[in-house]
Every structure is written in C-alpha cells, then in structure tokens.
Amino acid sequence: METTKKSRNTRGTRASGGTADKIRAAYVDYLLTNGKQPASVYKFCIDLGIKEEAFYSGFGSFDAIEKDIWTSFITKTVTALQSDKAFATFTSRERILSFYYALLEELKNNRSFVLQQIGTFRKPELTPSYLKGFKPVFEEFISSALGQGKSNGEISTRPYIDRIYPQLFWMHFGFILLYWRDDDSAGFEKTDAAVEKSVNLAFDLIGKGALDSAFDFAKFLYQTKK
Amino acid sequence: MKKDTKEFDKIPTTKIQRASKFIATGAKIGTNYLKHYSKRLVNPDTTRDELHNDNARDIYASLSELKGSALKVAQMLSMDKNLLPTAYQQKFAMAQYSAPPLSYPLVVKTFQTYFGKGPNDLFDSFTHQARNAASMGQVHQATLKDKKFAVKIQYPGVADSVKSDLAMVKPIALTMFNLNPAEYDEFIGEVELRMTEETDYVLELKRSVELSEKCKNINGLVFPKYYPELSSQKILTMDWIEGRPLGDFLNEEIVTSSSRHLVTSSSRHIFTSLGQAMWDFYHFQMHRLKAVHADPHPGNFIITPDNQLGIIDFGCVKVIPKDFYGKYFQLMDPRLFDDPKKVEKLFYDLHFIYPDDTAKDKKFFPGTFQQARGIAQSSVSKRRVRLLAEEVFRSIVWIRRRAYEHERASSIEEGEGSTRCDLPEQNIFRSVQPTARP
C-alpha cells in the first residue's frame, strides 16, 4: 500500500496513517499561521522532523495536501449521512438538504482553513485545483440523490437537460460556499436559510411543474402547426 | 479577504424581489382607484367600500406572498382595528403568519446545534412534518414515554429579517392606510420590539412559565407545562394541548347552529364559559399583572374537548407601563369630566392630543370623547353609536379604538356578532364599563 503513488484519494493517504495526519495538521497550522504555503517541502520536512521521502510517499506537493483535506471533508460527510438509518427514508430533497447541512457543519469546524482557501477564489465558474478531488464525490452524491428522486417521481425526467443537473448543483454549491464565506450571522443561520430556500427552489424547478407543461404545449403547437 | 466575485457576492435577491412585489401591489392599487373613480363618473353612489375591498384583496394577496414580518405587521394593524378601514380589517384578520416550512433536515440540524442530538434521540417519536405553523416557525408533535409534546422550532435568520421587512412596509402602510408618520413610527417601533422579543424563545419560555404560573388559579383555563431542558434559543418544548383552535371552533359552532341567532342553549353555555374564562384571563393580566398576552390570535387559543380554554404562545407580551395604566383608567372615572383642565392634561399625557394639533381638533376631541362615553354607557341604538364612531374615526387613533370597543361591546349585549376572534380586546375594555357607569 505504501507504494500507492501520490495518493489521489483518501484511501491512499490513509495507508500512510499517522504520518499523513501529522503532515496535514502541520501544513494547515503553517498555512494559517503564516498565511502562505511553506517555502519548500525541504524546509517543511525539516521543521516537522520527518524525511522528505516520507512526505512524498503521502503527497506529491503542498497542493495535493490541500486537495486531500477538501476531499476528506466531503467523504466524511457522505459516510456520516449514509451511516444514519433515517437517511434511507429521506426524499431526494431532504437528502440534498441534509447533505448540505452536514457538509457546512464539517466546513464550519475548519472555517479558518476554508476561508484561507476560498478567500482568493475569483472565478466561481472554474473549479479551483484544491476542489478537484472534492467535485467527483460531490457530483456522485448528487447524482445518486437525484436518481432516487427520479425513480419516485419527485423529479421529472427531462431528456438531455437532466444530465447537467449535477453540474448545476455544483454551481449552486459554489454559491452556498461564497454566501457562507460572507455570512456574519450568529451560527451562520443565514446560510442555513439560504440553503433551505435555494434547494427548495431548485427542487421546484426540477420537479414536475409549469416548465414541463410549457414545454409540452410548445412542442404540441410546433408539431401540429402545418 | 473579500474579493470581487460579483456573481455570488451577496446578491440581495430576496429584498429586490420583495420590493418589486410592493411595486406591483402599488400598481394594482392604482388601478383600483382608477376603477373606482370611473365607476363614480357613471354612478355617483358608488361607495368607497368597494374600493377598499378591492384594495384589501390585492394588498392581502401580495403580503401573504411575502409572508414573514410584513404579514405580521398586517395582522397587527388589523388587531389595532381602527387603524384600518373595515374591509382591510376583515381580510387581514384572516392572515395567519406562516413562514415557509422548515425542512426536516433543517429541524434536525437545529436540534443538533442546540442539544448535540437529533430529535429522534431526544424523543420516542417526532413528526417528520410540522403539525402547525407558529409565529416565526412551526410546531412538531413529539412523544416521550406516554406524554405528548408540542415542539416549536424557529426559522433560522428570522430575527434579522424583522427590521428590513418592517422598513419595506413603511411606504405602503403610510400611503395606503393613510396613517400619519409620527403615529406610524411609534406603532412600528412597538411592533419591531414585540417581534424581536418573539424571536427569543428563551425569553418566551421564562414568560410562559411565569405567566402561566400566576394565572393558574383562574377557572376554565389550561396552560401547557414547559420544559426548559428541552428548549433553547430556537426550540421551545411544551405539553401538547388536545383540542381545536378557537377560530376553527367558532366556525364549526356557527355552521352547526345554522344561524347565529339560533345558538342552542348548551352551546351558548359553552360560549359564555369560554368568554368568561377569557375575560377573567385578560382582566387578571391587565389589572393585576400589568402585562398582557399581546398576541390574541385565534390560533393561540385551544378549546379542549371538555371546553376548557387552553392558552399557548406567550411570545408576545406587552408590559403595561405603570403611569399609562394609571392615567388610562382614570378616564373611566365619571367625575373626571367635571374638571376640563384635568381632562386636557390627561389627553396630552396620553398622546390623544399633540401640542401641534389644530385648535379645532383640540376642542373636538374631548367633546367627542365625552359624548362617546355617554352613548356607550347608556347603550342606545347601535346605529347612533356607529355614526358617532365614524365621526370619532376621523379624530385620533386611540379614541377610535375605544369607541369601536364600546360599539362592539354594546352589540354583544344585543346578542349579535359575539362570535368573533377579537374577544380578548373587548374584554379588556368591557372590564372598565361597570365602574364607569354612574
């Protein structure tokens, strides 16, 4: 397992066990204390008292550490949700809501780190490098929740369009994240309200409703017009 | 840290949407006035009642879409009956404050924030869906062993939105309800204070426990027990009171007794005992506790299966200032009017008259007041009281209120219109009648 290269996923880093945790903690500490990445892996390893080799067996670079931390946020969240018995009984809407709440809770525990990371985030339409491992897990979770919604009729099936729903939710997550960043209410309750309202809106839009009827009607007019 | 991410940087969508809602309403009201005046051209007898009805409908429709504090203001304006023309009152009396429902995950999250546990860990069962809307939140039913609980949960962020919502209501209220700005500011300041208090469940818990403890000896009343260990800033747990809300109860009773004049003796008995309980409840608060349950909304009174009156929701309590109480009830002393100087001073003190009022108003007011008192006390024909009341409506808010109360009170004595949800207010004022009678 030690040979797993550069650890693209959490499983890889978990293999290096305690050292990886130590590196992560030390890195976050350095980042938050100094406001920037350490000068070099060499210096970082000396300060931490480990060999450079040990560092590279866990992570390829400092950016890889950041990516790994972000991925751990979401995998922890998903695991926690799936281990909850009640979760299986939830509707699609409730699954996504509880996912957001749990994820925000996780981010809240690491708010300084998260703020440090997204503070420099300028273009929400582009996925920053540290979210590269986070995004697939996110989209997978959303797809499975939406799939469940489709099978029970909560979400209407719209050919072609419904394939991009996960991407739309990804952008929605970007919105939530930036909203949360600037939220100064006690306990971030405004973010809670924003999540609640925006997810409700999203589900009203992707559920059966006016949109489908409008489309159906337009199609009918187009087809019957000679 | 804050960088130029325009797309996501705090777009005040809700506020813009809300504001545009008001603009749309304004436009509608405008057309209503157009309609009114064009009808008047054709038929000079067209009354303003129709216009008010149209306006009330449109304003109500848009306020209920807005929900939140705006609707609450409408409700409060309607409580203070005479601030609004009749048509508005009736529409707004229907207004039930209802925030959009909280999703179950958010309920769970709220529990976890305050107790570190989900509702299912604290209770044996907990309803997934809300059972009732409550002020600023919703009520779930929970059970633990063989006890049923009502658990009230507040919508996140509601406390902060109060102020901005109220600020948006101001222009519409000023122009459409024809209020004077000073009066409105005083009124809205009070509303804001009460509403902010209402979002504090810790305070509500304290008051609920205190007031229900003090009022427990009044006959015919039921208070739920409150559970501080299961309550927090945003969660309030109390006993579940079985029964029907007062509003439903009255509607059903009225339907079953086909006409209001054919109330059976048994249901009359029930009405009387409920009315008595409510009267006692409000008197006791007004005169002994000097603090009143200030949200006498029909949903806050539960009629239990054995026809007791259950009282819930002490979120909104008005403490009556000592000097106001003293001065206000002095008005009930018939000897007061022998000394015009004293009367005038009292009216200034109570802000019935302001120093910058015109001389005519200053003179008109005490005169009307005395007349109103005289008529109300000698229960003459309702029509005369109403005519007079209309006269009074044009003067000052407070006196308007009183005249109306008297009118209502005398109509009750005639056995009409006694089944309205505004009983508590009447009772406060009925209390003073006996002492006022010579």
CA B326, distance to chain mean position in Å, is 24
Per residue in B160-193, pLDDT (tens digit) is 777 776 676 676 666 655 666 776 777 777 777 7
* A200 contact B CB<8A: yes
pLDDT above 70 coverage of chain B, percent: 46
Which helix or strand (DSSP H or E) is residue B139 part of?
A: strand B137-144
What's the pLDDT score for residue B324? 74
Question: Taking residues B65-93, what's their average pLDDT?
Answer: 52
* A85 contact B CB<8A: no
Per residue in A89-117, pLDDT (tens digit) is 889 999 999 999 999 999 999 999 998 88
Nearest to B5 among A178, A190, A195 (CB): A178
DSSP-assigned letter for residue B284? I
What's the pLDDT score for residue B417? 35
What's the pLDDT score for residue B226? 92
Is A60 a residue whose pLDDT tops 80? yes
- Confidence category of residue B224, pLDDT binned at 50, 70, 90: very high
* B6 contact A CB<8A: no
- Give the gap in angstroms from C-alpha A186 to the nearest C-alpha of chain B: 9
Q: Among B339, B357, B338, B336, which Cα is nearest to B348's?
A: B357
CA distance A115 to A109: 11
Nearest to B156 among A175, A189, A200 (CB): A189
CA distance B364 to B424: 30
In sequence order, which residues have a C-beta less than 8 Å from that of residue A108 and are 6 or more positions away?
Answer: A188
ipTM of the complex: 0.74
Other Cβ atoms within 10 Å of B61 Cβ, number: 12
* A107 contact B CB<8A: no
Q: Which residues of B touch A124 (CB under 8 A)?
A: 5, 7-8
Q: Is B437 or B382 the better-scoring residue by pLDDT?
A: B382
Residues B290-329: b if buried by 16+ CB within 10 A, e if exposed:
ebbbbbbbbbbbbbeeebbbbbbbbbbbbebeeeeeeebe
Instruction: Pick from A74-88, B48-62, B387-401 the range whose average pLDDT is largest.
Output: A74-88
If you search the block for the tokens 């739309």, which residue do you land on?
A168
- SS3 percent helix, strand, coil of chain B, rounded to 5, is 60, 10, 30
- Confidence category of residue B423, pLDDT binned at 50, 70, 90: very low
In sequence order, which residues have a C-beta less than 8 Å from that of residue B108 and are 6 or more positions away?
Answer: A98, A101, B118, B119
**What's the distance, Cα to Cα, between the start and end of chain A in Å?**
67
- Confidence category of residue A9, pLDDT binned at 50, 70, 90: very low
pLDDT above 90 coverage of chain A, percent: 31
Q: Which residues pair with B318 in a beta bridge?
A: B292
Residue B194 DSSP SS3: helix
Residue A4 DSSP SS3: coil
Average pLDDT value for chain B: 67
* B115 contact A CB<8A: no
Q: Which residues of B touch A187 (CB under 8 A)?
A: 113, 156
The size of the A-B interface in CB pairs under 8 A is: 73
- Give the gap in angstroms from C-alpha B7 to the nearest C-alpha of chain A: 8
Say whether B104 and A90 touch across the interface (CB within 8 A): yes
Instruction: Pick from B111-125, B281-295, B305-319 the range whose average pLDDT is largest.
Output: B111-125
What's the pLDDT score for residue A12? 41
Q: Is A166 or B160 the better-scoring residue by pLDDT?
A: A166
Closest Cα in chain B to A92: B105
**Most A CBs within 10 Å, among B6, B109, B121, B155, to test the A interface:** B109
Per residue in B289-299, pLDDT (tens digit) is 888 887 766 77
Burial of B41 (0-12, 13-18, 19+ CB in 10 A): exposed
- Confidence category of residue B48, pLDDT binned at 50, 70, 90: low
Enumerate the H helices of B123-257 as residue ranges. Answer: 158-176, 181-198, 201-214, 246-256
**Most B CBs within 10 Å, among A154, A196, A203, to test the B interface:** A196
Tell me the C-alpha to C-alpha distance, in Å, between residue A73 and each of A58, A184, A192, B123, B205: 18, 22, 18, 30, 37
Nearest to B160 among A86, A97, A185 (CB): A185
CA distance B430 to B133: 31
CA distance B32 to B60: 14
Q: Is B423 or A194 the better-scoring residue by pLDDT?
A: A194
Instruction: Pick from B51-55, B180-184, B214-218 the range whose average pLDDT is largest.
Output: B214-218
Is A75 a residue whose pLDDT tops 80? yes
What's the pLDDT score for residue B266? 72
CA distance B145 to B307: 26
- Confidence category of residue B230, pLDDT binned at 50, 70, 90: very high
What's the pLDDT score for residue B237? 93
Which helix or strand (DSSP H or E) is residue A165 part of?
A: helix A165-182
Average pLDDT value for chain A: 84
What's the pLDDT score for residue A73? 93
Question: Taking residues B130-135, what's their average pLDDT?
Answer: 73
Strand runs labelled E in chain A = none
Q: Among B255, B198, B220, which Cα is nearest to B72's?
A: B198
Which helix or strand (DSSP H or E) is residue B292 part of?
A: strand B291-293
What's the pLDDT score for residue A144? 92
Say whether B157 and A193 touch across the interface (CB within 8 A): yes
Residue B162 contacts residue B199 (beta carbons within 8 Å): yes
- pTM value? 0.64
What's the pLDDT score for residue A129? 82
Q: Which residues of B touch A98 (CB under 8 A)?
A: 105, 108-109
Q: Which residues of A touch B2 (CB under 8 A)?
A: 182
Is B382 a residue whose pLDDT tops 60? no
Question: Taking residues B199-214, what's their average pLDDT?
Answer: 88
Q: Among B49, B73, B32, which Cα is nearest to B188's?
A: B73
Token representation of residue B276: 């008595």
